[in-house]
Amino acid sequence: MSRLDETHDPARTSWVESAVGHPDFPIQNLPHGIFNRAGEAPRGGVAIGDLILDVASATAAGLFEGETLTAAQAAAGETLNPWLALSPAERRALRRRLSALLSDTDQTEAVRPHLVASSKVRLHLPARIGDYTDFYAGIHHAVNVGRLFRPDNPLLPNYKHVPIGYHGRASSVVASGHPVLRPHGQTLTPGVETPTYGPSRRLDIELELGVWIGQGCALGDTIPIHEAGRHIAGLCLLNDWSARDLQAWEYQPLGPFLAKNFLTTVSPWIVTTEALEPFRIAQPQRPDGDPRPLPYLWDDQDQARGAFALELESAILTPRMREAGETHFVLGRGPATNLYWTLAQLVTHHASNGCNLNPGDLLGTGTISTPDDSGCGSLLELTRGGQNPIRLPNGETRTFLESGDEIILAGRLGAPGFVALGFGECRGTIA
């Protein structure tokens, strides 16, 4: 069922001038995050153009009342976990009030004192993450990587029956802009019998979506597929930094460990489920011959509206490019519909064994890649395991990341008849 209302109206504009035509944060978006100015404690905010509405300040000034006051208080503190725990109806009510405050010119004088320039604040993780799980739902990434190791059988038999994932490290998830320290670990050089310990030489990226859990479920409970969507509060961009040389040595028999848990970067704004409504589209049909998911993972409505009209992009900016004043170079660009499983299927499967989910838990989709080189979500795929270096416009080459390289992820939601939205950037520089 569609949840469109006046907040999605493409004709609605904000009296905040920078919001009009803003590539990421027009009045139709209104994502939530946590920010602080120098000398102040972190607090909840809402992005609007190049400004941030200080929700705590606006609440203290009496701009919310009734149901929206309770919701605004939940969105005003040093973490968004209380806001994530709200019901979808409570979040929608707050969104409608925020949209009215920032579009009604009669509210200009009352609201303007509570706006802060984005350029003058620091952005933080939006929530206290209790648990982080990373899936492997990008089928073309799975095929591309599998082909490097198993040319004749890139996908293992379980892939098309069950969403594959692993439990990551919540404590090393950071907000955009945090430096990326090159991890150390054991590696085994081909042709050598004994491993060595040292810095990773095959540092890579993974272009993913992050899924923020809203209302969760208790230990022992499950989440039916037709209800899974209401447990998703919003999305962000996610870069699951990966040390491929460490990974190659340690991943058997239990999978990712030190090659993955040293850092994960997310964009700091939660683009809400309510803002995403106009961009829902059908999940691509599975190819002929692929198995139909088991009944607990199948819902006709989810298949009809469980994907999003979203284009993702990864780019690199090297130190030499930066010094020359050059712009970043796009490594890949492609649609989020390259996910084999819907977000609802990931949530349902996660809880299907009675695993509890809590407000503020984070799920990664896994690397989202295209079947060709136009939208590879990792350097491992793009360089064929380091065998085919990428040539940048200034003559530099890369197989994996070098010191000083900056990676920028971006995402753009677009649909006919609606105003396009973005996530803001997800950046990280190799220290």
Per the prediction, the chain carries an average pLDDT of 97
Q: Residue 3 — very low, low, confident or very high, per pLDDT cuts 50/70/90?
A: confident
Euclidean distance between CA atoms 34 and 44, whole angstroms: 5
pLDDT surpasses 90 at 293: yes
The confidence score (pLDDT) of residue 409 equals 98
Euclidean distance between CA atoms 243 and 262, whole angstroms: 9
Q: Render the burial of 377-406: b for 16+ CB within 10 Å, e for the rest.
A: bbbbbbbebbeeebebeeebebbbbeeebb
What one-character-per-residue DSSP string does 68-133 give?
HHHHHHHTSSSSSHHHHTS-HHHHHHHHHHHHHHHH-GGGHHHHGGGEEEGGGSEEE-SS--S-EE
The confidence score (pLDDT) of residue 161 equals 98
pLDDT tens-digit profile of 153-170?
899 999 999 999 999 999
Nearest Cα to Cα of residue 45 among 36, 32, 57: 32
pLDDT tens-digit profile of 335-349?
999 999 999 999 999
Q: Residue 277 — very low, low, confident or very high, per pLDDT cuts 50/70/90?
A: very high
Q: How far is CA 250 from CA 187, 189, 255, in A?
A: 8, 13, 7
DSSP at 138: B
The confidence score (pLDDT) of residue 137 equals 97
Q: How much is the average pLDDT of 173-180?
A: 98
The percent of the chain in helix, strand and coil, each rounded to the nearest 5, is 30, 25, 45
Scan for tokens 């670990």, then name that residue. Answer: 185
Q: Which residues, at least 6 apart from 429, have a Cβ–Cβ distance to it below 8 Å?
A: 179, 180, 404, 405, 406, 407
Q: How much is the average pLDDT of 391-400?
A: 98
Sequence length of the chain is 431
161 in active site: no
Q: Residue 400 — very low, low, confident or very high, per pLDDT cuts 50/70/90?
A: very high
pLDDT surpasses 60 at 262: yes
pLDDT tens-digit profile of 198-216?
999 999 999 999 999 999 9
Nearest Cα to Cα of residue 16 among 116, 142, 88: 116
The confidence score (pLDDT) of residue 65 equals 96
| Cis peptide preceding 224, ω within 30 of 0 | no
pLDDT surpasses 90 at 252: no
pLDDT surpasses 70 at 1: no
Euclidean distance between CA atoms 378 and 208, whole angstroms: 10
Q: Residue 102 — very low, low, confident or very high, per pLDDT cuts 50/70/90?
A: very high
The confidence score (pLDDT) of residue 369 equals 98
The alpha carbon dihedral of 386, 392, 395, 401 has a sign of: negative
CB distance 32 to 272 below 8 Å: yes
* From 141, 231, 328, 350, active-site residue: 141
Euclidean distance between CA atoms 256 and 416, whole angstroms: 40
The confidence score (pLDDT) of residue 2 equals 63
3-state secondary structure of 266: strand
